[in-house]
Amino acid sequence: ELAVAKKDAERAKNMFALGLLSWMYSRPYASTLRFLERKFVKRPELVAANIAAFKAGWNFGETTESFSVRYEVK
């Protein structure tokens, strides 16, 4: 549903992994979202794709029953 090239969508999968790890280690994600907005400021479609992938990874961690533990990094 996002208007990005296949190559750009493939690159966004790293953000899925980052979202999952952020969830797993109880990291706040607001700073990551701000970073993505600044990094891709000239390409709003990439902002949307990367944020969507990040949130999908975070939500996957929230909803899956694959992980029995979470960690907290202070």
What's the domain range around 42? 6-63
And the tokens for 71?
A: 């960690």
> How many domains does the chain contain in total?
1
DSSP alpha helix (H) spans, the chain: 6-24, 30-39, 44-63
Q: Which residues contact 14 (CB under 8 A, 6 or more apart)?
A: 53
Is 70 contained in some domain?
Answer: no
What is the rounded CA–CA span in Å between residue 11 and residue 49? 10
Half-sphere exposure of 56 (CA within 13 A, CB side): 12
Tens of pLDDT along the chain (74 residues) come to 667 777 777 888 899 999 999 999 989 889 999 999 999 999 888 899 999 999 999 999 988 888 777 788 77
Those residues with Cβ within 8 angstroms of residue 45's Cβ, 6 or more apart along the chain or in another chain: 2, 3, 4, 8
Q: Is residue 73 part of a domain?
A: no
